[in-house]
Chains A and B, each alone.
Chain A
Amino acid sequence: MAEFIAYLIAGLATGAIYALAAIGFTLVWQTSQTINFAQGEFVMLPAILILAMVGFLGAPFWLATVLGIALFVLLFGWGFKIVIVDPMIRHGVLPLAIATMALAIIMKEGAKDGFSAEAQNFPSFLPVQTISLGGVSISLQHIAIILVACAAIGGLQWFVTRTKTGRQMQAAAQNPNVALVLGIPVARMVMLTFLINAGLAALASVLISPIYLAKFSNGEVIGLFAFIAAIVGGFNQVRGALAGGLIVGVIDSLAAAYISTSYRLAVPLVLLVIIILVKPEGLFGRKEERRV
């Protein structure tokens, strides 16, 4: 039992990161009705930018973190919307989806060529000690990741459902034309959504990079698992992304422990197929209808 709990906590920690990234899928989906295939790279890049700030500017790590996250949010929140989403969305969702695929490659190769092809150490802001509770060794880092990620997601959920701006964001996402008629600044709300997405991705990057190491290729795995998490939880619900992330993280951990490391990637994919067949809107998603 102690062993199972240890796997569970490790899975929840990884799942919390997937959830942060999965929320990005839901946010972009809600505002642009498209999939950001660069979402994994959005989690990979902030850590690289922070290390670049340390390396090239000689900034202390905390300052580099602040600057790196700010730069990332500017470039891949504001910039992503202005440079990629706005010009592409006019031509439909497919060109935008393809543009995000291209962006993923550019971000990955840019990080490789512009910074390093090798993995880099990324310091942790969180404690790395373990505590023993009822015979179970628990990593404080894992607990802290779960708490920080859940707090961020909870805060987002509160913001979206309990504040005026949040409700305006929801209205803008659900029906931009009506929202505009009601006097909601839709463009500003959409921009805010992209900034939040970039901020959450940066948070995920800072949390996961001490464990995965900062490397240009990290986005591949994170992006795939976050995508699965978003579908499993429900592409149009923040709470769905949270649940999906945690479920996928736990399943991945248990698969590695009790099935095989070699097949661990296949297990969440099997779950994905089951969800698509049985409940295509996801466990917590709501059904959407479109007029064509």
Chain B
Amino acid sequence: MKNSVLAAAFAALSVVSPALAQEKIKLINVVELSGAGATAGTNWKNGIDLAVADINAKGGILGRQIEIIHYDTQTNPGNTRAAVQRAIDEGTYAVLGPVFSGPIGASMQIAQRAEIAQIVGGEAAGLTKQGNPYIFRTSLSQSAAMPKIATYLQNGVKAKTVAVVWVNNDFGKGGRDSILPELEKRGIKVVADVSTEQGQADFAADAIKVKNANADAVFVYLNEEESARFLTAAKQQGINKPMVGETTLLGAKVIQLAGAAAEGVKGHVGLSIDAPVPAFQEFGKKFQQRFNAISDHNGLKGYMAVHMVKWATEKQKKFDKKGLADTLRGARITPKDEPGIMIETKIETNGDIDRESFLAEVVAGKQVIKETLPMINP
């Protein structure tokens, strides 16, 4: 008798609230919440949280609410591998993250073996050159971004010589290896090639090296905190040559950390809440309202990652882990089909993405978009 009352109550509850009748869909985010990648990882996580809240408020995915779990990798490749394995063992529908290219490279084979889509924030060119059909980016790869930067250095900055400052990790090495041939093709000479370390605190010696190279421009390719430290050191040394970067150098966190030292920094950004895309700006407002912080590109990437999952699941009309990856591969997602994707995004078969991007400059402590660049292969 008691059991039948409980069963009746449960059935009644299911009728009243269909969402409760179905199990939640579990998404596990494996990301850098401490260590050198904390800034990028926190933005990515917050973007994901915002997306999950938005999607759940609108009824979830195919009627199922999302349960999001975050695991901190401490920006450590070994921890990342363990966290990805744990996420898969715990039944995640897709692996979200990480953001740093090194930990992605160290962990992506685990998701591949499990035939689960891994949607990441990394930009290193090599990630999508390994024939892994389960890896998907949320940002342009270095192979796509660096030609744009090199062209900007040639035509926008009119630089004949450049000093390249890069971080000695997968992200930095990938960026350096991608930009050097592009600069050479355009006849721009690299007069200083300065390697720095991830997590490095003191950039005085590097700034002095760059200053003495007397290049027409400085290309800075570091992670967020290191970018801010380098800009501060460059200001201390009185470097007054154009500082040009790719996405991270112009990020909101870098501008906040470097303060006046970030003024006048120029470069290419894949995603920006200041871009002339209403959905980006709307996202930026929501992010600020919820987290009392300005989102950088990683926040947008995190938001898009969850909506990539939502779009692909609704497209395949079922929760099939392998099918999710199959659906994403080669897809073209428009804001009309999935408003959460915010900007038309083409996913290449190797997991790279293509979309419009922007040239920007830091003016009065804000990133100002100067030009919109088209998709590479529209």
B222-262 interface mask toward A, CB cutoff 8 Å, 1 = contact, 0 = none? 00010011001101111000000000000001001111100
Complex Cα–Cα for A241 and B265 (A): 40
Q: Which residues of A contact B38 (CB under 8 A)?
A: 117-119
Decide: B195 and A213 in contact? CB cutoff 8 A. no
Decide: B202 and A212 in contact? CB cutoff 8 A. yes
B211 within 8 A of A: yes
Complex Cα–Cα for A221 and B256 (A): 24
A284 within 8 A of B: no
Of B197, B237, B256, the contact of A261 (CB 8 Å cutoff): B197
Decide: A7 and B238 in contact? CB cutoff 8 A. no
Most chain B beta-carbon contacts within 10 A, residue among A217, A261, A262: A261
Complex Cα–Cα for A252 and B212 (A): 19
Residue on B nearest A132 in the bound complex, by CB = B238
Decide: A211 and B202 in contact? CB cutoff 8 A. yes
Q: Which of A135-143, A147-155, A175-183, A197-205 contacts B (4 or more CB under 8 A)?
A: A135-143
Task: List which A121-148 residues lie within 8 A (CB) of chain B.
Answer: 121, 128, 130, 132, 137, 139, 141-142
Of A3, A7, A128, A253, the contact of B236 (CB 8 Å cutoff): A128
Chain B residues bordering chain A, tally (CB within 8 A): 37
How many A-B residue contacts, CB cutoff 8 Å? Answer: 101
Q: How far is the CB of B227 from chain A (nearest CB, A)?
A: 11
Most chain A beta-carbon contacts within 10 A, residue among B195, B197, B205: B205
Most chain B beta-carbon contacts within 10 A, residue among A14, A118, A119: A118
Q: Which residues of A contact B256 (CB under 8 A)?
A: 121
Main secondary structure of the interface of B (DSSP, over half): helix
B39 within 8 A of A: yes
Most chain A beta-carbon contacts within 10 A, residue among B42, B196, B206, B208: B208
A112 within 8 A of B: yes
Decide: B202 and A14 in contact? CB cutoff 8 A. yes
Q: Which residues of B contact A120 (CB under 8 A)?
A: 257
Q: A119-B257, A121-B257, A257-B209 are in contact. Are A213 and B225 (CB under 8 A)?
A: yes
Decide: B35 and A217 in contact? CB cutoff 8 A. yes
A215 within 8 A of B: yes
Complex Cα–Cα for A128 and B263 (A): 14
Q: Which residues of B contact A218 (CB under 8 A)?
A: 201
Q: How far is the CB of B70 from chain A (nearest CB, A)?
A: 12
B48 within 8 A of A: no
Chain B residues within CB distance 8 Å of chain A: 33-35, 38-39, 42, 168, 194-197, 199-202, 204-206, 208-209, 211-212, 225, 228-229, 232-233, 235-238, 253, 256-260
Q: List 23 A-B contacts (CB under 8 A).
A: A10-B202, A10-B205, A11-B205, A14-B202, A14-B204, A117-B34, A118-B38, A118-B42, A118-B225, A119-B228, A120-B257, A121-B257, A121-B259, A130-B237, A132-B238, A253-B204, A256-B202, A261-B194, A261-B196, A261-B205, A261-B206, A262-B168, A262-B195
